[in-house]
Amino acid sequence: MARGTSGGPGWAAPPPKPMRYPPHHRLADAWHGWRDGRKGIPVIPAALLDLAGEYAEEQRQLVGTPRLEVLRRRSAELINVECERHDRRLIGAVGPAALATSIDSRQKAVDELRTQLAVHQTPPDDLALKERRSAEAERPDLLVRHRRLAEHARRLHAAASALAAAEQQRNEACERQVLAAQDLYHAERVLAARARRINEHHWRRAAAYWQHLVRSHELGPQLNAMLRPVGPELPSWAEEED
């Protein structure tokens, strides 16, 4: 997982400030709504006007306008920017597959060293204890025996140390995998939260536009009862978890 400049995970950085709805945007949305309403946009099909009094909330049909499409596309653009930033933070980070491969290779090394340790844990037999080196021809049997036992103890200690080091490396790789998974999980949650913030902001703008459109439209009451604006879309991955 990519890290922030402070040394901590990127998702732990202070959250951005709430998206402002500055006055000039409010005026633009209100003006577009008023203008479209005065022009009779959108047009309600005559066949639907006869059913205006029978429409329930869930039966209202979706309708779009050029201004709503602008807001939809602007919302999608900003969400894509957040996705790009998220992906850029992951550049250079070790992925889950690479971490899993690293753990597997370290586990294999642990298994091999554990097998070697088991072999070294077997005490040398009497024949091995009596084995003499070229310089030990005249040495007492007891001295030769002690030397063979010391050599066995050194091999056993070296095997145990190698196993402990390999287990430590495997455990560190497992910890890195857990931390990377946690970082990715939190980074994706932050990305989803930012996408929802962008979506909600542009829905707010769409609602302001629609409010003024309905007020200025000749068939405003019927329009509001029968149609609902096509607002910005929220990607499925950004929806809040149950």
The pLDDT tens digits along the chain (242 residues) read: 333 333 445 556 676 777 899 999 999 999 999 999 999 999 887 777 666 555 555 667 889 999 999 999 999 999 999 999 999 988 877 778 888 888 999 999 999 999 988 888 888 777 766 677 767 667 676 776 777 787 788 888 999 999 999 999 999 999 998 988 888 899 999 999 999 999 999 999 999 999 999 999 998 888 888 888 999 999 999 998 76
CA distances from 51 to 111, 224, 227, 230 (A): 76, 13, 12, 21
Report pLDDT for 19: 87
Q: Which residues contact 204 (CB under 8 A, 6 or more apart)?
A: 21
Instruction: Write the pLDDT tens digit of every residue in 212-242.
Output: 999 999 988 888 888 889 999 999 999 987 6
Q: Which helix (DSSP H) or strand (DSSP E) does residue 62 occupy? A: strand 61-63
For helices 23-38 and 141-216, the axis angle rounded to 10 degrees is 50
Report pLDDT for 224: 84
Q: What share of the chain is helix, strand, coil (3-state, %, to 5)?
A: 70, 5, 25
Nearest to 213 by CA among 65, 11, 9, 20: 65
